[in-house]
């Protein structure tokens, strides 16, 4: 039998348990109000069915925050009522602890830089449940234009891009509209044209020219088969199997030579650099020399000298021409009087021979030159 004080204990237990449960709920829920979060917002021009408050916000798979508010843009900004914008407003809370406790200004500046690099928000399906989350992705700026807005966002605004499902639906709609645009008469005409083309090809293949074309095609296929067969034979040759290792060894040797010659190559490059520096220095000196006013004066003095040299060269050319004419004339005279000159030379040779003999006799018998013949030689038998 239950006593009265048992009811008191049961009621006290229920009251204390309820109070403790409410305290836990308040403590766990109130912690969110004391958290420091950064607010960002975005807008969507499509259905976001499956996205709810509390849905995760991820950056390349890392959870960085949650969705904090979802509304129509017309309820958030009065300026939106003056335009044709029918966007959905989504506000997100970003956890700053994942960004090394950046200040709000640093966070806003960083988000602005990343937006310029292609940061966008895309609704993404969370598995097969149909739930959505917001995924921060990087896209091509040209392929993802921003939505037109005529108001100033209260928080950092990150442009959005259509979801994958939205793009698929758009593509299907485009294909459906294209197919709907085709009339029954157009389809019948296309089929008729295809039949006509097939009939023309069939008729051509039955003619002599078509048969020749078919035979040529067969010949080309046969040649291709022979080429492939020959290629297979070459690849099956043991020499071909050795070719690849030899090529690898050759490349290894070339790499070894390059590695061994690395110091020489570096030295050659250093010398080439020094040579280029010397050449540049010489060019600078030459430029300074040419820019010197004295060089202009020297060049002006050289001009008359060069003119005199040119005139002297002309006179020299005329003199050489005259000498050449004189030599030609002497050659012609020599050629015409060659016989007489030869006779004169023969007579001169005889005269010189006689003079030589006379001088020899004068040396041996000087008196005989003036008084007559030389004395006769004595005979060995005379006394």
41 DSSP β-pair partners: 91, 157
Beta bridge partners of 125: 132
Domain assignment of residue 180, yes or no = no
**Has residue 74 been placed in a domain?**
yes
How far, in Å, CA of 48 to CA of 87, rounded?
11
CA-wise closest residue to 32 among 119, 79, 93, 80: 93
In a domain, 216, yes or no: yes
Q: Is residue 323 within 8 Å of 315, Cβ to Cβ?
A: no
Share of the chain above pLDDT 90, in %: 5
Residues in the chain: 383
Contacts of 119 (CB under 8 A, 6+ apart): 111, 136, 137, 138, 158
Give 113's strand partners: none
pLDDT in tens, 44-74: 988 888 889 989 999 888 888 999 999 988 8
Same domain? 325 vs 227: no
Neighbours of 106 (CB within 10 A): 13
Give the integer Cα–Cα distance in Å for 135 and 56: 9
Average pLDDT over residues 216-237: 85
**What whole-number distance in Å separates Cα of residue 34 and Cα of residue 82?**
37
The per-residue pLDDT of the chain, averaged, comes to: 77
Looking at the fold, whether 55 and 124 belong to one and the same domain comes out as yes
- Alpha carbon distance 356, 361 (integer Å): 9
pLDDT reading at 4 higher than 70? no
Question: How far out from the chain centre does Cα 381 lie?
Answer: 123
Kindly state whether residue 272 falls inside one of the protein's structural domains.
no
Same domain, 318 and 349: yes
122 in the same domain as 49: yes
The alpha carbon of 202 is separated from its chain's Cα centroid by a whole number of angstroms, namely: 50
The parent domain of residue 230 ranges over 194-234
Segment among 11-20, 70-79, 248-257 with least mean pLDDT: 248-257
Specify if 106 maps to a domain: yes
Number of domain units in the chain: 3
- Between residues 315 and 136, which one has the greater pLDDT? 136
User: In this structure, is residue 354 part of a structural domain?
Assistant: yes
Q: How far apart are CA 27 and CA 216, in angstroms?
A: 88
Residue 87 within a domain: yes
Of 114-118, 228-232, 305-309, the poorest mean pLDDT is in 305-309
Alpha carbon 383 to its chain centroid, in Å, reads: 127
| pLDDT value, residue 383 | 45
Most confident of 12-26, 92-106, 110-124: 110-124
Predicted local distance difference test score (pLDDT) of residue 91: 93
For residue 11, give the H/E element and its range: helix 4-30
Let me know whether 161 and 204 are in one domain.
Answer: no
pLDDT value at 147 more than 80? yes
Per the CB < 8 A criterion, the answer to whether 133 and 57 are in contact is yes
Average pLDDT over residues 138-164: 85
């Amino acid at each position: 039998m239950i006593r009265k004080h048992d009811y008191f204990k049961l009621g006290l237990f229920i009251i204390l348990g309820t109070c403790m449960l409410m305290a836990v709920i308040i403590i766990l829920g109130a912690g969110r109000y004391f958290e420091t979060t950064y607010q960002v917002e975005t807008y969507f021009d499509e259905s976001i069915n499956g996205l709810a408050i509390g849905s995760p916000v991820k950056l390349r798979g890392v959870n960085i925050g949650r969705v904090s508010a979802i509304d129509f843009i017309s309820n958030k900004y009065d300026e939106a009522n003056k335009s044709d914008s029918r966007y959905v407003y989504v506000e997100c809370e970003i956890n700053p602890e994942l960004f090394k406790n950046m200040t709000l200004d640093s966070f806003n500046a960083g988000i602005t830089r990343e937006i310029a690099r292609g940061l966008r928000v895309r609704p993404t399906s969370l598995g097969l449940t149909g739930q959505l989350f917001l995924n921060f992705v990087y896209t091509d700026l040209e392929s993802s234009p921003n939505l037109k807005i005529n108001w100033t966002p209260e928080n950092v605004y990150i442009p959005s891009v259509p979801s994958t499902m939205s793009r698929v639906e758009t593509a299907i709609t485009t294909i459906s509209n294209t197919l709907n645009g085709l009339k029954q008469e157009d389809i019948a005409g296309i089929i008729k044209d295809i039949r006509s083309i097939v009939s023309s090809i069939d008729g051509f293949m039955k003619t002599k020219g078509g048969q020749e074309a078919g035979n040529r095609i067969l010949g080309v296929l046969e040649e291709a088969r022979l080429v492939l067969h020959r290629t297979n034979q070459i690849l099956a040759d043991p020499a071909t199997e050795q070719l690849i290792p030899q090529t690898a060894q050759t490349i290894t040797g070339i790499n070894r030579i390059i590695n061994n010659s690395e110091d020489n190559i570096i030295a050659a490059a250093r010398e080439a650099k020094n040579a280029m520096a010397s050449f540049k220095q010489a060019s600078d000196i030459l430029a300074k020399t040419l820019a010197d006013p004295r060089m202009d004066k020297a060049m002006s003095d050289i001009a008359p000298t060069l003119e005199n040299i040119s005139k002297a060269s002309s006179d020299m050319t005329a003199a050489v021409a005259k000498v050449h004419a004189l030599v030609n004339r002497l050659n012609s005279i020599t050629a015409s009087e060659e016989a007489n000159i030869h006779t004169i030379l023969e007579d001169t040779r005889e005269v010189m021979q006689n003079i030589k003999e006379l001088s020899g006799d004068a040396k041996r018998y000087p008196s005989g030159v003036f008084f007559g013949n030389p004395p006769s030689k004595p005979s060995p038998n005379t006394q």
